[in-house]
Amino acid sequence: MKTIASFNVNHNLLKKGMYTSRIDGDVVTYDIRMKIPNNNDYLGDNEMHTFEHIFATYVRNTEYSDDIVYVGPMGCRTGFYFLVRDSIKPEQAIQLVRDCFAYIADFTGEIPGATKIQCGNYLAQDLDGAKALAKDMCEVLKDWKPENLEYEK
Protein backbone atom coordinates (compact mmCIF):
# COMPACT_ATOMS: atom_id res chain seq x y z
CA MET A 1 0.00 0.00 0.00
CA LYS A 2 1.01 3.59 -0.57
CA THR A 3 2.31 5.42 2.53
CA ILE A 4 -0.06 8.19 3.63
CA ALA A 5 1.20 11.78 3.80
CA SER A 6 1.26 12.09 7.59
CA PHE A 7 3.58 9.06 7.83
CA ASN A 8 6.07 10.83 5.56
CA VAL A 9 6.61 13.64 8.08
CA ASN A 10 9.82 13.23 10.08
CA HIS A 11 8.41 13.04 13.60
CA ASN A 12 11.92 13.35 15.05
CA LEU A 13 11.95 17.00 13.90
CA LEU A 14 8.42 18.00 14.94
CA LYS A 15 8.00 20.68 17.55
CA LYS A 16 4.84 22.13 19.05
CA GLY A 17 3.08 24.38 16.58
CA MET A 18 0.67 24.53 13.67
CA TYR A 19 1.58 23.08 10.28
CA THR A 20 -0.03 22.56 6.90
CA SER A 21 -0.30 18.79 6.73
CA ARG A 22 -1.89 18.49 3.29
CA ILE A 23 -4.14 20.16 0.75
CA ASP A 24 -6.77 18.05 -1.00
CA GLY A 25 -8.75 20.06 -3.53
CA ASP A 26 -10.32 22.86 -1.51
CA VAL A 27 -9.67 21.24 1.90
CA VAL A 28 -6.62 22.23 3.93
CA THR A 29 -5.57 19.95 6.79
CA TYR A 30 -3.68 21.64 9.59
CA ASP A 31 -1.58 19.64 12.03
CA ILE A 32 -1.83 21.33 15.41
CA ARG A 33 1.00 19.69 17.30
CA MET A 34 0.56 20.11 21.05
CA LYS A 35 3.10 17.58 22.28
CA ILE A 36 6.53 16.61 20.98
CA PRO A 37 6.20 13.17 19.34
CA ASN A 38 7.71 10.11 20.99
CA ASN A 39 8.64 12.05 24.11
CA ASN A 40 6.57 10.03 26.64
CA ASP A 41 4.29 13.03 27.21
CA TYR A 42 0.94 12.69 25.47
CA LEU A 43 -2.47 14.31 25.63
CA GLY A 44 -4.55 12.71 28.34
CA ASP A 45 -7.77 11.12 27.14
CA ASN A 46 -10.11 13.26 29.24
CA GLU A 47 -8.37 16.61 28.65
CA MET A 48 -8.17 15.82 24.92
CA HIS A 49 -11.87 14.95 24.88
CA THR A 50 -12.84 18.21 26.59
CA PHE A 51 -10.51 20.18 24.33
CA GLU A 52 -12.16 18.62 21.28
CA HIS A 53 -15.67 19.49 22.47
CA ILE A 54 -14.80 23.15 23.04
CA PHE A 55 -12.52 23.50 19.99
CA ALA A 56 -15.11 22.05 17.60
CA THR A 57 -17.96 24.05 19.10
CA TYR A 58 -16.02 27.33 19.10
CA VAL A 59 -14.83 27.20 15.48
CA ARG A 60 -18.27 26.16 14.25
CA ASN A 61 -19.74 29.24 15.91
CA THR A 62 -17.51 31.79 14.18
CA GLU A 63 -17.87 33.65 10.91
CA TYR A 64 -15.98 30.69 9.36
CA SER A 65 -18.49 28.06 10.46
CA ASP A 66 -19.51 27.06 6.92
CA ASP A 67 -15.86 26.48 6.02
CA ILE A 68 -14.96 24.23 8.95
CA VAL A 69 -14.77 20.62 7.80
CA TYR A 70 -13.47 18.73 10.83
CA VAL A 71 -11.75 19.04 14.22
CA GLY A 72 -10.37 15.91 15.81
CA PRO A 73 -7.55 14.45 17.88
CA MET A 74 -4.65 12.51 16.41
CA GLY A 75 -4.53 8.84 17.29
CA CYS A 76 -0.98 9.28 18.63
CA ARG A 77 -2.36 11.80 21.15
CA THR A 78 0.14 14.54 20.26
CA GLY A 79 -2.29 17.01 18.76
CA PHE A 80 -5.32 17.73 16.62
CA TYR A 81 -6.19 17.82 12.96
CA PHE A 82 -8.10 20.90 11.85
CA LEU A 83 -9.62 20.72 8.38
CA VAL A 84 -10.95 23.84 6.68
CA ARG A 85 -11.93 25.00 3.21
CA ASP A 86 -9.25 26.96 1.38
CA SER A 87 -11.45 30.06 1.53
CA ILE A 88 -9.93 30.45 5.01
CA LYS A 89 -6.49 31.88 4.31
CA PRO A 90 -3.49 30.65 6.33
CA GLU A 91 -3.23 33.85 8.40
CA GLN A 92 -6.96 33.61 9.16
CA ALA A 93 -6.62 29.95 10.18
CA ILE A 94 -3.76 30.79 12.53
CA GLN A 95 -5.72 33.65 14.09
CA LEU A 96 -8.83 31.49 14.42
CA VAL A 97 -6.82 28.83 16.27
CA ARG A 98 -5.19 31.49 18.48
CA ASP A 99 -8.60 32.98 19.33
CA CYS A 100 -10.07 29.55 19.98
CA PHE A 101 -7.24 28.47 22.25
CA ALA A 102 -7.47 31.74 24.22
CA TYR A 103 -11.20 31.04 24.61
CA ILE A 104 -10.50 27.51 25.87
CA ALA A 105 -7.80 28.77 28.26
CA ASP A 106 -10.37 31.04 29.93
CA PHE A 107 -13.41 28.79 29.53
CA THR A 108 -15.94 28.59 32.34
CA GLY A 109 -19.31 26.91 32.43
CA GLU A 110 -20.67 23.67 31.09
CA ILE A 111 -18.62 21.81 28.51
CA PRO A 112 -20.54 21.87 25.21
CA GLY A 113 -22.05 18.53 24.24
CA ALA A 114 -21.05 16.81 27.48
CA THR A 115 -24.33 15.16 28.39
CA LYS A 116 -25.32 11.52 28.15
CA ILE A 117 -27.68 12.33 25.28
CA GLN A 118 -25.05 14.29 23.31
CA CYS A 119 -21.86 12.26 23.82
CA GLY A 120 -20.90 8.59 23.88
CA ASN A 121 -18.43 9.06 26.74
CA TYR A 122 -19.80 12.16 28.43
CA LEU A 123 -18.17 11.60 31.82
CA ALA A 124 -14.64 11.48 30.35
CA GLN A 125 -13.93 15.20 30.73
CA ASP A 126 -11.10 17.27 32.21
CA LEU A 127 -11.72 21.00 31.87
CA ASP A 128 -8.70 22.04 33.94
CA GLY A 129 -6.46 19.86 31.79
CA ALA A 130 -7.95 21.27 28.57
CA LYS A 131 -7.42 24.81 29.85
CA ALA A 132 -3.79 24.07 30.68
CA LEU A 133 -3.21 22.67 27.17
CA ALA A 134 -4.78 25.78 25.66
CA LYS A 135 -2.64 28.13 27.77
CA ASP A 136 0.50 26.31 26.71
CA MET A 137 -0.45 26.47 23.03
CA CYS A 138 -1.37 30.16 23.26
CA GLU A 139 2.25 30.78 24.17
CA VAL A 140 3.54 28.51 21.38
CA LEU A 141 1.37 30.17 18.70
CA LYS A 142 1.58 33.81 19.86
CA ASP A 143 4.02 34.83 17.09
CA TRP A 144 3.13 32.09 14.56
CA LYS A 145 3.05 33.26 10.94
CA PRO A 146 2.13 31.58 7.64
CA GLU A 147 5.82 30.89 6.94
CA ASN A 148 5.90 28.78 10.15
CA LEU A 149 3.24 26.43 8.72
CA GLU A 150 5.81 24.39 6.79
CA TYR A 151 7.27 21.26 8.38
CA GLU A 152 11.01 21.23 9.10
CA LYS A 153 12.95 18.88 6.85
Q: How far is CA 125 from CA 73, 102, 112, 138, 150, in A?
A: 14, 19, 11, 21, 32
pLDDT at 9: 84
Confirm if 141 and 65 have CB atoms less than 8 A apart. no
The pLDDT-based confidence of 147 (bands split at 50, 70, 90) is: very high
Q: How do residues 3-32 score in pLDDT, each as one tens digit?
A: 877 888 888 899 999 999 999 999 999 999
The pLDDT-based confidence of 42 (bands split at 50, 70, 90) is: very high
Instruction: State the DSSP code for 2.
Output: P
Q: How do residues 115-141 score in pLDDT, each as one tens digit?
A: 999 999 999 999 999 999 999 999 999
First-to-last C-alpha distance (Å) of the chain: 24
Vertex 70 angle, CA 107 and 12, to 5° = 85
What pTM does this model have?
Answer: 0.95
The H-assigned helical ranges of the chain are 45-59, 90-105, 127-141
Helix (H) and strand (E) counts for the chain?
3, 4
